[in-house]
C-alpha cells in the first residue's frame, strides 16, 4: 500500500485492515513515497512521513513499513517498486497492490501502468455510494481491464493479474482536511493515531495552510 501519507490517518489504517481481512493477507506493507512523480511534492519531508507511518502501524503484527521509496534519490514509480518486490518474493507468491477508488480511476496516467497487472493483483477500495469505480465512470482502457480481470475477492489465488473491487467502511477523512485543521490549530484527535498526532505536535508540522 503506497501513498504520500502526509500524514497517515485512520482512513489509511482502516482500509489496510479491511483489505487484509477480505483477502486473507499475511502482511500489509506501507510504502511511503519519496518523490511521487504524479503529483506535487508532499508538504512534509519523506523522513517525517516515514516516521509517522512507523508510529501509526506499531502494535499491529500484520502491518509493516517498507522504506525503499524514501531511501532512493530518484522519483518513485509503483511499477519499479512492484518489480523489486516480485524479485524478492519470486514468481509464485501472490502480491496485492491496494488502491483507493480515486487512484484506480487515474491509473492510466501512471508510468507503465499495464505492467502492474503482470506484477501483482490489484484491489480497489470502494464504497456503495461512490461513483469513481462504476464502469460508466471509468475510461475505455480501465473498462477493458475491469471486464476481463475482475473477480470476487475470495477467488483470486494467482500471483498477479486479478482485479477486485472491495467495499470498505466509508470514512470521510482526508490528509488535506487534517492539514487544514492543524494549520488553524483545530483538533485532529481521532482522525489519526495519537502517536502520529503527538509526533506532529512535537515536530511542529503543518503549522501553515
- What is the spatial distance between Cα 92 and Cα 52, in angstroms, rounded to a whole number? 32
- What is the spatial distance between Cα 23 and Cα 32, in angstroms, rounded to a whole number? 22
Please state the pTM of the whole predicted model.
0.93
From residue 134, how far is each of 69, 131, 137, 173 by CA, in Å? 31, 5, 5, 21
pLDDT per residue over 57-106, tens digit each?
999 999 999 999 999 888 889 999 999 999 999 999 999 999 999 899 99
Whether the bond into 2 is cis, omega within 30 of 0: no
Residue-averaged pLDDT of the chain:
92
Domain architecture of the chain: domains with CATH:
2-172 (3.40.50.620)
Amino acid at each position: 500500500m503506497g501513498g504520500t501519507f502526509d500524514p497517515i490517518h485512520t482512513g489509511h489504517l482502516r482500509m489496510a485492515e479491511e483489505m487484509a481481512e477480505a483477502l486473507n493477507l499475511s502482511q500489509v506493507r506501507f510504502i511511503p513515497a519519496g518523490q511521487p512523480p504524479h503529483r506535487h511534492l508532499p508538504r512534509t519531508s519523506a523522513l517525517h512521513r516515514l516516521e509517522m507511518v512507523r508510529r501509526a502501524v506499531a502494535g499491529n503484527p500484520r502491518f509493516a513499513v517498507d522504506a525503499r521509496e524514501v531511501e532512493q534519490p530518484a522519483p518513485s514509480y509503483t511499477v519499479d517498486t512492484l518489480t523489486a518486490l516480485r524479485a524478492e518474493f519470486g514468481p509464485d507468491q501472490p502480491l496485492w497492490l491496494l488502491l483507493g477508488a480515486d487512484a484506480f480511476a487515474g491509473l492510466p496516467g501512471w508510468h507503465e501502468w499495464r505492467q502492474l497487472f503482470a506484477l501483482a493483483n490489484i484491489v480497489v477500495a470502494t464504497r456503495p455510494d461512490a461513483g469513481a469505480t462504476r464502469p460508466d465512470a471509468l475510461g475505455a482502457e480501465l473498462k477493458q481491464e475491469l471486464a476481463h480481470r475482475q473477480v470476487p475477492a475470495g477467488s483470486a489465488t494467482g500471483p498477479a493479474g486479478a482485479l477486485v473491487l472491495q467495499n470498505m467502511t466509508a470514512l470521510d477523512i482526508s490528509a488535506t482536511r487534517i492539514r487544514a485543521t492543524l494549520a488553524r490549530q483545530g483538533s485532529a484527535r481521532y482522525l489519526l493515531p495519537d502517536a502520529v498526532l503527538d509526533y506532529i505536535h512535537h515536530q511542529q508540522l503543518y503549522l501553515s495552510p
